[in-house]
Structure 1
Amino acid sequence: MLAPERRTRADIISAVVIAVLVVVAAIVVWARGDARGTESVTATHPATAPTPADKLPTGLRELWHAPDSADARALVAGGVAVTGEEGSVVGHDLTTGEQVWRYRRDMPLCGVESQFGMVIAVYRDQRGCSQATLLAGEDGSRRTARSSYMDKSVRLSVDGTYVLAAGRDRLEMWRSDLVRTVEYGYVDAQVNAKTQPRTGCTLLSAGSSAARLAVVERCPNDPSNRLSVLNPAPKDNTVPEEYGSHVLTGPGADAPGVRVLAVSDSRVALYLPPAPHPVADAPAGPRIGIYDASGNQLLLRDLPAPIADTATTRIGSAFFVFTGDSVIALSASTFDQLWQAPGAVGTPALMAGRLLLPVAGGIAVLDPSTGAEQSRIPVDRPDYGGAPLSLSVLGAVILEKRGATLFALG
């Protein structure tokens, strides 16, 4: 019969050394990892989305306001108002403005967006705006995250299916779970560089729908800007699939201000600024260009004046394009102009079946189908500096983003 094994002094010393090394390794990983610089305060009681309003208010007053510099529009998700400021994303109680949840990282915020009751927060590290986190709107809990090489600044947008993160050199599209569906432009992995249709291009503007990704880019040796129309979800996310790519022609086509206004499954609308070098007897612009699903030009529509600040929102069966001093309603299927409302100072929102449009001194109530003004709700904006406004509605509360501040009106 074998004698039982006994621990020797050397065995004990080895075990202690191994345990110390494991603890040291864990401390190093924690010190260098993302978790060390992250704070997540989830909701004690998750928020619930309020019942949509069935009537319009006759008067409005400020309920609360909060700093909000990281996003481009007034955001709501899961029954809360969402703001982004100095590395923190906060979900606010609609009526009091009190914090429901908070997510903070010790990195600069590149942008915040919301879709499907979720909040997408993108942070900048040494690889650019590469750290994306998906948060549940109702309680701020972290659902998933992704990391990849990106530009130092990106513009986030959503189309009802995908998230678009677009920089000057590179863009990506993500599914609702942040899985990448396509990368386009500069590729850091050299093994994938040859999969791109062109190299060295500057991405000037981009927009998307469930079936199309439209990119305005300026490429070396091209005489003008180029419109490329792609599949937002090709079979291989590292291999873009183009439906068409055309160098734009005509006055204004080579202007740096050409940009995507709206994208549907079968149309792309571009803003073509006044021609930088007008030619005699040729139209100088500005215009809206309508293109088919492969990027072929269908028609050009003259605009009465250049567009200063553009922002587009889709509500129901129409796109609403803010031009800087008016809103143009376009059919979501054909991009035919339905109507134009002058005097706008921002993008609209829908409430109780009516379109709310921010105007000087208040909010105009419009018929969505005709643009006819039906009434006005006064709004006091004592510190308003003239920046484009963005409206959003949740329940009976109207959220108005003025510059770097979000105001709740009720």
Structure 2
Amino acid sequence: MTHSSTPEAPPTQEVVRGRVRPERRRRGDVIAVAVIAVVVLVGAVVLWRTSPVVATTDSTAATPIAAPPRAGDVPAGFAEAWRAASGATPAPVVSGPAVVTADGSTVIGRDAVSGAERWRYSRDIPLCTVGSGFPSADNGAGRLLALYQGPTGWCSELTALRPDTGARAASSNPDVHPGTRLIADGTFVAATGSDYLEVWRSDLVRTLEYGAVPTPVQVGVQPRTGCTYGSTALMQSRLGLIERCPGETTDRLTVVTPDGSGGAEKPQVEFSVPLPPSALPSAGATVVALSADRVAVALPAPTRLMILDRTGRQIGLISLDVPDADLARSVAVAPTSTDGNRVYWWTGSATVALDAADLAPVWTAPGTLGPAVAYGTGLLAPVPGGLVELDPRRGTVLRTIPLPGAGGTAPVRLAVQGDILLAQRGSEVVAYRPS
């Protein structure tokens, strides 16, 4: 029995009604791919034109900024070198060899001696705040962190810049509220908040999220819900915060590991303990400092410093010679500085020096406008009209140094870059050179 077969038609011949010739199919595929490519390209152009990146302008330094000479002995006086607006910084920002000012939507890296602009980073969205961190990055240049407000109103646009050149190093999208502060300990940077905070490592990967997580990956892993935070500190790779939680009549001190073994979504809590009640129900405690195995918390009414060990056990309760008004409210970030041997804490009217290891108070210097800072071989604190040089061992005043243009009793934050002294008063940074 034989079977008849129809010869295969050539590729250009239509053999079945309604079936497209292979040649036409290939042409159709090419056209479809081309149309898709055009749509993708148009979409990419629209996305690029509406993205915040397109509204970014920056200029980098042709050569890295050079650090000024190191400070020696405290000079007999200082002369004003330059001043600049910096409303987005709570204190002078010294990052790598640069002094960084930030105002409006623009961040500027400046030569410390002259104040000359060496690089600039600007966007068409407002700055939330600026800070520095990760000092070991890029052979000691560190990172300057510029946090901008995103389209939702949250502070969700973070860029890390090299402070010596202004070159962009990394970026990420955090989820913190306006009013946040960036605090650093050399290894991590934390963004504070009243009900949520997060911590980043040097590549800006989130290592901890704590509190009311905006988009939780896991449910039920946060230790407490509905709490508000009055004070936060990050030191020695330990994060301490004051919590006020529903159903609790007193503040709570919680210490968390910034980079726990459970990942960012699951906080690793060292301890969490209720604090003693205050005679002022509305007053709150303030985390002042942390060491490797101690935490110091300021308590109001009466004013005292509570020291706890690594398990949360109280090992000291020391009266403070400061007015009750200084500690009548919790401070989001306690104004402190350190020289490695001491932590200098400004209470609101006095500078208290704490031993950096056991956090016990060593001395109190009344009448200051901000925490003391190390300058060369000396220690300086702001006072009305200028500075006082303090004895680092006893806190006694060695001499008073007038500062040009200094006046009033508003808080002052100091910083040092080489032999240049920086002072932030309100939204302005003023640089002083030895005279």
* TM-score using structure 1 length: 0.90
Asked if 1:317 corresponds to 2:328, the answer is no
Name which of 277, 297, 313 aligns with 2:314: 297
Q: How does 1:4-403 map to 2 (within 5 A)?
A: 17-115=35-133, 116=135, 117-125=142-150, 126=152, 128-235=154-261, 236-252=263-279, 254-274=281-301, 285-304=302-321, 305-306=323-324, 307=326, 310-381=334-405, 384-403=407-426
Greater radius of gyration (CA): 2
Q: Is the 8 A contact 2:251 2:284 kept in 1?
A: no
Task: Quote the offset at 1:138 in angstroms.
Answer: 0.2
State the identity as a percent: 37
Greater alpha carbon shift after TM alignment, 198-207 vs 149-158: 149-158
Q: Is the 8 A contact 1:50 1:394 kept in 2?
A: yes
* Aligned counterparts of 1:316 and 1:141: Cα–Cα separation in 2: 30
* Aligned counterparts of 1:129 and 1:11: Cα–Cα separation in 2: 45
The one-letter amino acid paired with 1:408 is A
Match of 2:138 in 1: none
Secondary structure (helix, strand or coil) at the match of 1:144 reads strand
* Aligned counterparts of 2:280 and 2:260: Cα–Cα separation in 1: 28
Count how many residue pairs are aligned between Structure 1 and Structure 2.
398
The one-letter amino acid paired with 1:302 is S
Secondary structure (helix, strand or coil) at the match of 1:213 reads strand
Pairwise CA RMSD: 2.4
* Aligned counterparts of 2:125 and 2:283: Cα–Cα separation in 1: 31
* Aligned counterparts of 2:200 and 2:55: Cα–Cα separation in 1: 25
Greater alpha carbon shift after TM alignment, 362-371 vs 191-200: 362-371
Q: Is the 8 A contact 1:109 1:122 kept in 2?
A: yes
Q: Is the 8 A contact 1:80 1:94 kept in 2?
A: yes
Asked if 1:405 corresponds to 2:423, the answer is no
Q: Is the 8 A contact 2:236 2:290 kept in 1?
A: no
Q: Is the 8 A contact 1:192 1:238 kept in 2?
A: yes
Unmatched segments (≥5 aa) in structure 1: 275-284
Unmatched segments (≥5 aa) in structure 2: 1-9, 12-21, 136-141
Q: Deviations over 1:116-163 (max 9, x none)?
A: 132111112116112221111101111111113222331211122211
Match of 2:3 in 1: none
Task: Quote the offset at 1:341 in angstroms.
Answer: 1.4
* Aligned counterparts of 2:185 and 2:238: Cα–Cα separation in 1: 10
The one-letter amino acid paired with 2:100 is V
Task: Quote the offset at 1:86 in angstroms.
Answer: 0.5
Task: Quote the offset at 1:181 in angstroms.
Answer: 1.6
The one-letter amino acid paired with 1:369 is R
Q: Is the 8 A contact 1:212 1:293 kept in 2?
A: no
The one-letter amino acid paired with 2:314 is Q
Q: Deviations over 1:311-338 (max 9, x none)?
A: 1112211110112222110001111111
The one-letter amino acid paired with 1:271 is A
Hey, which of these two has a bigger chunk of strand by percent? 1
The one-letter amino acid paired with 2:390 is L
* Aligned counterparts of 1:49 and 1:371: Cα–Cα separation in 2: 30
The one-letter amino acid paired with 1:268 is V
Structure 1 residues 366 and 188: CA distance shift in structure 2, 3 A: same
Task: Quote the offset at 1:6 in angstroms.
Answer: 9.2
Q: Is the 8 A contact 2:98 2:109 kept in 1?
A: yes
Secondary structure (helix, strand or coil) at the match of 1:29 reads helix
The one-letter amino acid paired with 2:351 is V
Secondary structure (helix, strand or coil) at the match of 1:192 reads coil
The one-letter amino acid paired with 2:214 is D
* Aligned counterparts of 1:191 and 1:60: Cα–Cα separation in 2: 54
* TM-score using structure 2 length: 0.85
The one-letter amino acid paired with 1:297 is Q
Secondary structure (helix, strand or coil) at the match of 1:234 reads coil
Q: Is the 8 A contact 1:318 1:330 kept in 2?
A: yes
Task: Quote the offset at 1:254 in angstroms.
Answer: 4.9
Secondary structure (helix, strand or coil) at the match of 1:194 reads coil
Q: Deviations over 1:259-318 (max 9, x none)?
A: 1111112111112122xxxxxxxxxx1222212223222222222312168511122111
Task: Quote the offset at 1:76 in angstroms.
Answer: 1.1
